[in-house]
Amino acid sequence: MTDVDALFTPLRIGPLTLPNRIVMSPMTRQHSPGGTPGDDVAAYYRRRAEGGTGLIITEGVAIDHPTAVDSTKVPRLHGDSALAGWRSVVDGVHEAGGRIVPQLWHVGPLWGAMARVDPTLTPLRPSGLWGRVGRTTYSQRYLSTVSTPTPAMTGHDIEDVIAAYVRSARNAVAVGFDGIAIHAGHGYLLDAFLWEATNQRTDTWGGDLRRRVAFPVEVVRAIRREIGPHLPIFYRFSQHKQQDYGARIAETPDELGRILTALTEAGVDVFDASSRHFDRPAFAGSDLTLAGWAKKLTGAHSMAVGSVGLSTSLHEQGVPEPAALDGLYRRLADAEFDLVAIGRLHLAEPAIARVLRTGAPLPSFDQDRHVRVLT
């Protein structure tokens, strides 16, 4: 068994069989005017399937809620036009032999970070708080606009959002997606319920860790009821937030275990452990990564993501250089985690799976060329 063989071992998740462990990580592109993915978006995803990627997780897709996503160029998963566009995307990926799931997204407190918003709409925040400002890339101008508390989410707001997730999951199944992914990291709505800096409620949905995880659990449980017992659910979580890259939802493995175990019991099949550097230890005293801990604590499948094959994480200074993958192959061979989500290198080279299979040099990533243009 060579170093790369672990990357090309098939994996079965419920009815979904993946030919390899390579996943296209979700990346916001903003190339869907009016929320509808067009032919260019369909071709973009199809090229990655043709290149041999085992699973594609789409860019974040707005659920059927008025404040889910602020940019009108981010795709939606509701409305006839958007659903027709996604059906074309899914059909193209399947024709190329690929598999694809949508990442359901509600930005929550970060409403207004990507685009100007309707001032009559109020962002959804668990306790009306944007979050504690720490290491962030947001401008002072933006930070000044979000510092004023808003009304906390009501019970009706919470019910509305759960129903919106369910409607969008139903739409995803109807257009032929192979499962569901949920964005619950980075300070967005579901993550905001877990983070004590944004959730200071004292009711059913806040307080101790068990109650802070209750809302994400209910979202997962509702989606699982809607799509049935078999289609896989992927769940992205993170320690860091866009409000503060140093923030944490769990200070110990025990705390993380209480969060993730509750989500596993609700119906999560795969934990997408988002870290700025996939191979950094998650807790002191152990070499285990965040993805490694997710698998160890729950027994569920886990996926590593964060600067795979690159020397610097997103938003770090400096031009990212190709980085050795020996550690990745070792951790995969040791079954520390099961899948590897690759982001920016999928933009640099649609056939990155083929590059890895053949051992060819990794492509160079150029921010201007590969991020601003859909290729």
Domains of the chain: residue spans and CATH: 3-371 (3.20.20.70)
User: Is residue 145's pLDDT more than 70?
Assistant: yes
User: Is residue 153's pLDDT more than 70?
Assistant: yes
CA distance linking residue 192 with residue 209, whole number of Å: 12
- Closest among 160, 109, 112, 153 to 131, alpha carbons compared: 109
Q: Say how many residues make up the chain.
A: 375
User: Is residue 327's pLDDT more than 60?
Assistant: yes
pTM confidence score: 0.97
Q: What amino acid occupies position 31?
A: H
User: Is residue 2's pLDDT more than 70?
Assistant: no
CB atoms under 10 Å from CB of 97, counted, come to 10
Contact 302, 264 (CB under 8 A): no
Q: For 327-335, what is the mean pLDDT?
A: 96
User: Is residue 1's pLDDT more than 70?
Assistant: no
Contact 7, 21 (CB under 8 A): yes
Question: 273 forms bridges with which residues in the sheet?
Answer: 237, 304
Task: Give the residue numbers annotated as catalytic, written as ranges.
Answer: 188
- Alpha-carbon Rg for the chain, nearest whole angstrom, is 19
Determine the pLDDT at residue 365: 87
Contact 63, 168 (CB under 8 A): yes
Mind giving me the DSSP string for 31-62?
--GGG---HHHHHHHHHHHHTT-SEEEEEEEE
The mean pLDDT of the chain is 96
Q: For 63-81, what is the mean pLDDT?
A: 98
Determine the pLDDT at residue 319: 76
Looking up tokens 């359901």 gives: 104
Measured in whole angstroms, how far is the alpha carbon of residue 126 from the centre of its chain? 20
User: Is residue 240's pLDDT more than 80?
Assistant: yes
Q: What amino acid occupies position 243?
A: Q
Mind giving me the DSSP string for 76-116?
BS-SHHHHHHHHHHHHHHHHTT--EEEEEE--GGGTTSSS-
